[in-house]
Structures are given as C-alpha cells and as structure tokens.
Structure 1
Amino acid sequence: MQQRDFGNTGLKVSVLGFGAGQVGAQHLSEDQAGTLLNRAIDRGITLVDTARGYGLSEERIGRHLSYRRHDFILSSKGGYGAQGAEDWTPPAIRRGIEQALTRMRVDWIDVFHLHSCPLEVLRRDDLLAALDDARQAGLIRVAAYSGENEALAWAVDSGRFGSIETSVNLADQWSAHKVLPDARERGLGVIAKRPILNAAWQFRERPAGQYAETYWERLQHLELNGIREQAGLAWTSLALRFTAFHPNVHSAIVGTASIDNLESNVRVVEEGPLPLDVLTQIEAAWEREGSRWPGEV
C-alpha cells in the first residue's frame, strides 16, 4: 500500500489508516479483535489510530500488536480519563500518556493528540508545556490536536503541534478548504477521519438522532448520486478515494469490526485517486452548496 511522508515529522504513514474505535467494543471477542488488528498490518496499513475513550481499544492493541511495534505508526488521544488526575490538567497529560503506554505495552506513542478539547482549553500554556515535556522525555514523538473549526485553525497557526486530525469527506470540507492548506505549508501531518461519512448514503430516510444525520442531509443538497452513477462507482469508492487522495491529507482512517470491510477498503484505495472530471464535479457541487455551511460537523 502507498506510503507517504507524514508532513515534516520524519514518520511515514499509509494512505489508508485503521481507526481502532470499534476494536474496543465489548461485543467483539479477543480473537476477533486480534485477527482484525493483525490483518490490517498484514495488508500494509501502517497507521493505527486509537484513543483513551475507545473502550478496550488501547488494551487490545497492547495484547495483539505490541510485538509488532516497529511495523506501524501508533496514534492515540487523551487529556481526560487519566487515573488520579483531573481532566485537562498537566498531570492528566503526563499520567494519561504513561498509562496509555502501559495499556498498549509500548515504550512510545508516535502521535499523541489532545482530543477535541475546546479552544479555551487548547490554548493553555500549561497543557502545551506538558506535551512538550512528554515529547522531550521520548514518551511521544509528535504532539497533535484532534478537532474541528476554530480550535483546529488555532492549533495549526500556533506552531505548537506537529500534526492534526480532523473530518474530511464529501460532505464535510470546511477544514479541507479553510485549514489544511495552511497545515501543508507549515509541514504538519494530517489524518482525516470520517472519510466515508458514517455511510450516510445507506439510509433511505433521514436517520434522525444518529451520527450520520447531518451528512445524510448534506448529501441530499449536494446531489452527488448522479456524479457517482455516471462514473460507475460505489459510494464507498467515491467517498474513500476522495479523502484518501486529497492533496492535503496524508492518511484517511476508517474504523471497522469486519474483516470483509477492511479488505474492501484496502481494495478501494488500491484503485488510486478519483478521475479528474469526477473531482471537478464534486468541487463544483461543494462550491454551489457546501461553501455556505458553517464549519465541520
């Protein structure tokens, strides 16, 4: 699978990353989780993205992937949920990282994100200093921010972070237009989440109250189905290739608990970028409709 330099971080990541949120689900057995994680690495995926809030994900990465530590880039998130520390404090950063290292049975985390904290928290010098200390101590390699909108823009402009994680997909392009060009110019690594829009296209009617609801509504306005049908593409192929090969994205993470879905995603990215005429039509649809939507979902 194609690998890319992860900005100026000195790391390389695969164009398709593995979102390990669903690996943390209680209903998934240990055998299933281990098979899924190892299959992802076997198929050339070299970015595994997890977080403190993803159930058993970090523990399972430790049990099933720690012996392959040099085969993948490990991305995690925190700032909260650290035992013995108040959320969004310097001890929460330090202890959270140390506890994550123990759970994942590793000596370092390649990319550690402050996880979707608001701007007023993100700007605190004591938290940023705690990240700097962790990096200097070799506990993490890259200090990062995962989030959206104004906080994301501040993180990029601050010069305090080496990478970011944000939503980039057919119906969620605020960051792609407003922030990612600056991130590229500054040499930041960029991880794109939600590339397949929570499969919003699978719902015949508005999925009220579900995560995909806003994406479903936006797809109706963008009218991308005609573009997709004319190009002869499945929805997953249109969506995933759009994000994975976006010029300002280094890796697009997709989460799944299914081996079949994992294999399908690998095959999709092996098809390469979307044709230029398809990209042109998607951009025109976004300029017509999406440019008036405020910020990321």
Structure 2
Amino acid sequence: MKKRVLGKTGIAVSEIAFGGVEIGIPYGIGVNSEADMLSRDEAVSLLHEALDKGINFFDTARLYGESEAIMGEAFHDRRDRLVLATKCKHFKNNDGQIPSYQVLKKIIESSLEESLGLLKTDYVDVFMLHQADLEILANDDVKEIFTKLKDTGKVRAIGASTYTSAETKRAIEKGWDVIQLPFNLMDQQQADNFNFAEEKGTGIVVRSVLMKGLLSDKGRGLHPALQQVEQHIGKYRELLTDEIPEISTLATKFALSFKQVSAVLVGIDRSEYLNRALHSVDGRLLNAAELSESKALVYPDPSFLDLPQWDRLGWLK
C-alpha cells in the first residue's frame, strides 16, 4: 500500500482510508438496521485485517454510533501503527446558532475527550469539524479552539468535513490542515479547489468516492426516481478493461489520479469490499486518456446528486 503525505501535516497516510461509519451505524444501500451490520467481533476482525493488509488511515466520528468504541477495542494495543481521524459532535443550538465562546469550548473539548476515551488513546491524528458550513467556517472562535487543542498534544492536525465547493474554499482560506470533501466520477465540482489546496499545503481526503455504493455493482435496479442516474452509471461500464474490471475500481483510481488527493475514504464492512479497495491501489492510476474520458462523463446535473436527500426520501433502500 502506497502512502501519501497529508498536506503540510507531515502525516503519511495510506491511499485508501477505512471509512468507519458503516461499522457504527446502519448506512448505505441495503443496510436498514443493525441486523444488516457486522457484529462487534466481526467489525474488530475486519479492522485488524485492514491494518494487516496495509491500510493505516482510519476515519470515524463522535456521531457514528459504536464506531469509535469498536476502533478503540481493535487498536488500543497497536496505536503506533495507524493514523486516526475523528470528528467533533455538532455544536449549534436548537435555533441553529453557534453558542458563546465558553459554551462552544466546552462542547468541543468534551467531544474530543469522549472520543479519546472510546478510542482508548491519548491523542488523535486529525480532529475535524463535522459538516462544516460557511457560518461555522467563518467563526474565529471555532478555529481558535481547535487550534489550541493542537497545542495540548491531544490533536496533531485539525480539519473540516465539507459538502460544497464554497465551503471547501473557505476552509482552505481559513487555514484548516485537512479537508474531507465529496468527489467522484459523477460529481467533480470540488476539483476546482484542488490547486488552491496544494498551494496552501492543505491535505485533501476524498469521501463519497463510491456514492454510498452506487458506483459499484450495487448501482443497478435503483428506485424509479433515479432511473437517469442508473443510466448514467451504465456509461462507466464502457470504460472498463481487464485491468479495471469494475466501476468501483475505476472510481477509486479516478480520485487517486489527482495528485492533490492524499487519500480516498472507502466505506468498508466486508472483507470482499476491503479486497476490492486494495485491488484498486495496485500502483496503476488512470492514464491521460482514461482520465480525460472519465472527466468527460461527469453527471450533467450535479445539483441533483443529493444522497442525504435521496436517503430521506427512501430512494436508497
């Protein structure tokens, strides 16, 4: 497994990052309850397998249910072999307002302490804002509190998880060390920020590379409302070859073909999916022609690609 440096942090991470949401809460196509998830022992075993096969970068969050606790159980005795990223719990109040400095500081610090306890470690490599919007990113108190946590040694780098290109641009401007952002074959809008991130030394971690599994063998027989999406996904099969036999492989290689990307976050809840992800980073990225063809097959209406909304409407069951 090749490693890339996470921006200017000096932290070397595997090209594939293990996404911890699926071991913590029901998430993804066909996963409707805990009955569809791995047991705790199975999840721990899968984490060990991923580490032993070369993945050193593991991503979780305070809001991912049991994910942090499971990672703590799996990694407490091998902490020096991995890079851990977690995200702060949400801190806006019921009115959608950011609280005063002291209240905000208490929420953020308590979230970190809870994560450290569950992860059974005394530091995290990356501590991130979860769903950072423009208001949060513009708030100097938020950035100051996170920055001061680096001084304590409990955090090596600070980051923000964003959704829109405008949010990513603002996070880079504000000097966050790492940005986790959505980017994939169908929605390539965030590429507009890649050169800026490189210029500022900001580490880029790509999520949603498989669009909750749509850009894999699960992208068939979708809800009628997603008929055009399914038809578009079919176009990627025309780019498959003996070396790139699956859409999931194409999607992963596509994201990693951008030099500014430090790692691709892949949700993994089966050994089969782990091995597919590992096969995608066999050292061969897309050549110029393949990358050009993939860029050209961007979805024509990226504003429609709202997976959280699709989930709320029941289109991803």
Indicate the TM-score class for this superposition, using the shorter chain for normalisation.
Answer: 0.7 to 0.9
**Mapped partners of 2:214, 2:257: distance in 1:** 20
2:44 alignment counterpart? 34
Q: Of residues 57, 77, 82 in structure 2, which corresponds to 1:72?
A: 82
1:243 alignment counterpart? 255
**Mapped partners of 2:146, 2:139: distance in 1:** 11
1:273 alignment counterpart? 285
Q: Deviation at 1:223?
A: 3.3
Aligned CA distance change for structure 1 residues 263 and 226 (closer, same or farther; 3 Å)? closer
Aligned CA distance change for structure 1 residues 208 and 74 (closer, same or farther; 3 Å)? farther
1:24 aligns with 2:24: yes
Superposed, which structure 2 residues align to 1:1-297 within 5 Å?
A: 1-25=1-25, 26=34, 27-80=37-90, 89-149=104-164, 150-159=166-175, 161-176=176-191, 178-201=192-215, 202-207=218-223, 213=226, 217=229, 220=232, 223-228=235-240, 233-286=245-298, 290=300, 293-294=302-303, 297=306
Residue range with higher mean Cα deviation, 8-17 or 71-80:
71-80
Please list every run of 5 or more consecutive structure 1 residues that lacks an aligned counterpart in the other structure: none
Contact 1:15 / 1:245 at 8 angstroms: preserved in 2?
no
Residue range with higher mean Cα deviation, 276-285 or 141-150:
276-285
Contact 1:190 / 1:251 at 8 angstroms: preserved in 2?
yes
Contact 1:174 / 1:296 at 8 angstroms: preserved in 2?
no
Q: Which amino acid aligns with 2:200?
A: R
Aligned CA distance change for structure 1 residues 151 and 220 (closer, same or farther; 3 Å)? same
**Mapped partners of 2:116, 2:67: distance in 1:** 13
Q: Which amino acid aligns with 1:46?
A: N
Q: Secondary structure at the match of 2:265?
A: strand
Aligned CA distance change for structure 1 residues 7 and 87 (closer, same or farther; 3 Å)? same
Deviations 1:259-287 (A, max 9, x none): 1211221122115202322111112333x
Contact 1:17 / 1:48 at 8 angstroms: preserved in 2?
yes
Q: Deviation at 1:206?
A: 4.0
Q: Which amino acid aligns with 2:194?
A: L
Q: Secondary structure at the match of 2:51?
A: helix
Contact 2:219 / 2:230 at 8 angstroms: preserved in 1?
no
**Mapped partners of 1:114, 1:226: distance in 2:** 38
**Mapped partners of 1:61, 1:81: distance in 2:** 24
Percent of counterpart pairs with the same letter? 26
Contact 2:73 / 2:119 at 8 angstroms: preserved in 1?
yes
Q: Secondary structure at the match of 2:85?
A: strand
Q: Secondary structure at the match of 1:251?
A: strand
Q: How many residues align?
A: 285
Please list every run of 5 or more consecutive structure 2 residues that lacks an aligned counterpart in the other structure: 26-33, 307-317
Deviations 1:177-213 (A, max 9, x none): x21211111111111111122222534344368xxx5
**Mapped partners of 2:155, 2:65: distance in 1:** 21
Q: TM-score, normalised by structure 1?
A: 0.87
Contact 2:20 / 2:59 at 8 angstroms: preserved in 1?
yes
Q: Which amino acid aligns with 2:172?
A: V
**Deviating 4+ runs (over 6 angstroms):** none
Aligned CA distance change for structure 1 residues 278 and 230 (closer, same or farther; 3 Å)? farther
**Mapped partners of 1:173, 1:184: distance in 2:** 17
**Mapped partners of 2:110, 2:245: distance in 1:** 47
Aligned CA distance change for structure 1 residues 263 and 221 (closer, same or farther; 3 Å)? closer
Q: Secondary structure at the match of 2:54?
A: coil
**Mapped partners of 2:109, 2:46: distance in 1:** 30
Q: TM-score, normalised by structure 2?
A: 0.82
**Mapped partners of 1:155, 1:33: distance in 2:** 33
Aligned CA RMSD, in angstroms, stands at: 2.6
Q: Secondary structure at the match of 2:63?
A: coil
Contact 1:22 / 1:256 at 8 angstroms: preserved in 2?
yes
